[in-house]
């Protein structure tokens, strides 16, 4: 994924493929309307 680090939409899309179990469930419960950047995703996921 290194070459794509500047492509936030692709990074956000691929992130879900790295998750399993509870993390995957939590990711799928996020409000995607408020996630427009990698930083938004990181904050929403941690919160």
Sketch the domain layout of the chain as residue ranges.
Answer: 2-46
Token readout for 47 is 């919160």
Q: Spell out the long-range contacts of 31-36 with Cβ–Cβ below 8 A and sequence spacing 24 or more.
A: none
**Positive or negative torsion for Cα 16, 27, 42, 20:** negative
* pLDDT for position 19: 92
**Positive or negative torsion for Cα 13, 16, 30, 39:** negative
Task: Say if pTM beats, i.e. exceeds, 0.75.
Answer: no
1-47 pLDDT tens trace? 788 889 988 988 888 899 999 999 988 888 888 888 889 988 988 88
């Amino acid at each position: 994924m290194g070459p794509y680090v500047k492509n936030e939409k692709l990074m956000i899309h691929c992130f879900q493929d790295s998750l399993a179990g509870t993390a995957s469930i939590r990711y799928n419960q996020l409000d995607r309307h408020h996630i427009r950047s990698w930083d938004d995703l990181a904050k929403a996921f941690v919160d």
